[in-house]
């Protein structure tokens, strides 16, 4: 094996060859009215930046669904979730329920318990730090918790609930009643009750114990409240936008004397931004290196024939399928957007056609179009994009505008593409997958 082939093999192993990001299709999820959720810390790298180039693994904070809280083995649970995450099988928790139903979320905080991951961080840690310093950091019982208690919660958007289910400490609520406290200490549990979900939509659920610290590390999930279905799309994809933290958390050191290291800290002392879809960031620099090592060029970094699929979602849909995309952003630092090549949709808010949807932090947005075809509204109202096949039955006609192909999608804040926010929307010939 020559040197170039060896390098390629090593890089391929480190970056996870063949892991395609699995889309979340809401229609495949069972309806629920009660769920058990835990929060747990996991040492794992959500990017394709090789682990060997990082000072240490970042510590993610994640929600995970479990059957119940009886006899939970924290280390086993953490090992399973870590394995899922590292191997590209992680999906953010999505809770699907129906309008006018009740929902109970039983919640247990496992952060820092058992054999919790620790980080050793070295390097220049701030602009004004002259020398390199070394820190160890964990969410475990050793040290950190005394200064920065890891109380966490579930705070829901949009749906109706009483103040004791808000998952937030604010105002005079605790003076009024200590039972109003929605925060949960490590090792403890409580339930959140939501009565008669009155507003359909895609709602964020996230920690509100210390959200500036935890939400960007992954402590977020989605609640889908289904209303009356007016249209039945062939695919109903949910995509979660998030960004992992960089320098924001130095503020914690300032206020609490507790150093919380940047999320992705390279051995060369650089701090990396990571912008993720469904939890994973497909950074371009490692893929450029891989492409060059494999005898291609940096311009081939988004190819999936010469490089692996990204762990961001790779959609595969047939030409003419009606696709709904529900976009939900947890961007803790910034807005993101969804731009899809070759497609457009009708934007209800502005009554214009668009091919780029901004999704501000904490917001959701819904779009609908035909794969390889026109916007949904255009098709309904103008009906001028039939695949012209004289004599075929109307039911067999397919709306075609841009056609088949691997259409790139990405956030249109351009640096976010480099930092991981892109993927492939593959439109195939009808029947090709059968
Ligand atoms: Cu973005």
**Chain segment 330-372, per-residue pLDDT in tens:** 977 789 999 999 999 999 889 999 999 999 999 999 999 999 9
For ligand 1, the distance from its centroid to the CA atom of residue 415, given in whole angstroms, is 8
Can you give the pLDDT at residue 430?
87
Give 183 Cα–ligand 1 centroid separation in angstroms. Answer: 30
CB of 266 closer than 8 Å to CB of 54: yes
- pLDDT tens for each residue of 139-175: 765 545 544 558 999 999 999 999 999 999 999 999 9
205 strand-pairing partners: 156, 221
Token readout for 69 is 């809280």
Dist. CA 349–CA 313, nearest whole Å: 27
Give the C-alpha distances (Å, rounded to integers) separating 49 from 125, 128, 132.
Answer: 19, 26, 22
From ligand 1's centre to the CA of 247, what distance in Å?
Answer: 17
Convert the pLDDT of each residue in 113-137 to its tens digit.
999 888 776 655 554 555 555 566 6
Distance 160 CA to ligand 1 centre (A): 30
Q: Can you list the positions of beta strands (E) in 168-301?
A: 189-194, 201-206, 220-226, 235-244, 274-277
Nearest-angstrom CA–CA distance, 384 and 401: 10
* CA–centroid distance, residue 332 to ligand 1 (Å): 11
Share of the chain above pLDDT 90, in %: 66
Q: Tell me how far the alpha carbon of residue 274 lies from the centroid of ligand 1, in angstroms.
A: 10
| pTM, rounded to two decimals | 0.89
> Tokens for 430?
């009808």
pLDDT class for 310, splitting at 50, 70, 90?
very high
Q: What confidence tier does 20 reach under pLDDT thresholds 50, 70, 90? A: low
How far, in Å, is the centroid of ligand 1 from the Cα of 413? 5
Helices (H), 154-226: 173-176, 211-214
Cα of 371 vs centre of ligand 1, distance in Å, is 23
Model confidence at 229, pLDDT cuts 50, 70, 90, reads: confident
* pLDDT of amino acid 287: 97
Mean model confidence pLDDT for the chain:
86
Report CA(60)–ligand 1 centroid distance (Å): 20
**DSSP bridge partners of 97:** 225
Pairing of strands 322-329, 235-244: parallel
The bridge status of strand 422-428 relative to strand 118-123 is: unpaired
8 Å CB contact between 110 and 186: yes
pLDDT for 270 equals 78
**Ligand 1 centroid to residue 168 C-alpha, Å:** 27
User: Is the pLDDT assigned to residue 14 strictly greater than 60?
Assistant: no
More confident residue, 390 or 291: 291
Measured in Å, residue 423 CA sits from the centre of ligand 1 at 13
Count CB atoms within 10 A of the CB of residue 420: 29
pLDDT digits (tens, 9 = 90+) for 160-216: 999 999 999 999 999 999 999 999 999 999 999 999 999 999 999 999 998 888 898
Q: What is the distance between the alpha carbons of residues 245 and 174, in angstroms, rounded to a whole number?
A: 30
Backbone angles phi, psi at 291, to 5 degrees: -60, -45
CA of 216 relative to ligand 1 center, distance in Å: 13
Distance (angstroms) between ligand 1 centre and the Cα of 337 equals: 6
What's the gap in Å between 281 CA and the centre of ligand 1?
A: 11
Q: How far apart are CA 293 and CA 55, in angstroms?
A: 23
Domains of the chain: 32-229 (2.60.40.420)
Instruction: Identify each DSSP E strand in 102-197 by its residue range.
Output: 103-109, 118-123, 133-138, 155-156, 189-194
CA 363–ligand 1 middle distance (angstroms): 13
Task: Please list, in sequence order, all residues whose beta carbon lies within 8 angstroms of the beta carbon of residue 390, skipping any fewer than 6 positions away.
Answer: none
Whole-number Å distance, alpha carbon 420 to ligand 1 midpoint, is: 9
Cα–Cα dist 206/10, whole Å:
37
Q: How far apart are CA 316 and CA 424, in angstroms?
A: 8
The DSSP-derived string for 33-53 is SEEEEEEEEEE---BSS-GGG
Confidence of residue 1 (pLDDT cuts 50, 70, 90): very low
Which pair of tokens denotes residue 208? Answer: 């509100």
**Residue 220 has which token pair?**
């977020």
């Amino acid at each position: 094996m020559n040197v170039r082939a060896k390098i390629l093999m090593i890089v391929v192993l480190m970056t996870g060859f063949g892991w395609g990001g699995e889309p979340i299709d809401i229609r495949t999820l069972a309806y629920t009215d009660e769920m058990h959720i835990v929060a747990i810390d996991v040492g794992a790298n959500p990017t394709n930046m090789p682990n060997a180039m990082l000072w240490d693994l970042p510590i993610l904070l994640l929600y995970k669904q479990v059957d119940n809280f009886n006899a939970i083995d924290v280390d086993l649970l953490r090992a399973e979730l870590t394995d899922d995450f590292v191997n590209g099988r992680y999906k953010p928790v999505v809770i699907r329920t129906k309008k006018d139903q009740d929902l109970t979320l039983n919640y247990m905080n496992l952060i820092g318990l058992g054999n919790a991951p620790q980080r050793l961080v070295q390097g220049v840690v701030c602009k004004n730090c002259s020398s390199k310093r070394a820190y160890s950091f964990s969410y475990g019982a050793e040290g950190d918790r005394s200064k920065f208690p890891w109380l966490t919660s579930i705070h829901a958007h949009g749906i109706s609930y009483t103040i004791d289910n808000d998952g937030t400490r604010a105002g005079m609520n605790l003076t009024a009643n200590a039972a109003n406290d929605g925060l949960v200490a490590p090792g403890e549990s409580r339930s959140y009750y939501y009565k008669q979900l009155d507003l359909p939509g895609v709602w964020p659920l996230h920690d509100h114990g210390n959200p500036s610290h935890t939400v960007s590390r992954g402590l977020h999930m989605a609640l889908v409240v289904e209303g009356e279905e007016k249209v039945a799309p062939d695919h109903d994809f949910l995509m979660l936008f998030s960004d992992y933290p960089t320098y924001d958390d130095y503020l914690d050191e300032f206020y609490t004397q507790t150093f919380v290291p940047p999320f992705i800290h390279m051995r060369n002392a650089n701090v990396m931004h990571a912008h993720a879809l469904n939890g994973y960031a497909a950074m371009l620099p490692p893929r450029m290196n891989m492409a060059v090592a494999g005898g291609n060029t940096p311009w081939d970094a988004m190819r999936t024939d010469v490089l692996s699929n990204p762990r961001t979602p790779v959609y595969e849909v047939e030409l003419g399928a009606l696709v709904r995309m529900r976009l939900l952003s947890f961007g803790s630092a910034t807005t993101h957007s969804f731009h899809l090549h070759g497609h457009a949709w009708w934007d209800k808010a502005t009554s214009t056609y668009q091919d780029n949807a901004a999704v501000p932090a904490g917001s959701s947005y819904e779009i609908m179009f035909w794969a390889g075809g026109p916007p949904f509204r255009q098709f309904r109202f103008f009906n001028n994009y039939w695949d012209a096949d004289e004599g075929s039955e109307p039911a067999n006609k397919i709306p075609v505008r841009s056609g088949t192909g691997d259409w790139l999608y990405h956030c249109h804040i351009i640096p976010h593409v480099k930092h991981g926010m892109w993927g492939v929307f593959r439109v195939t010939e009808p029947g090709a997958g059968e």
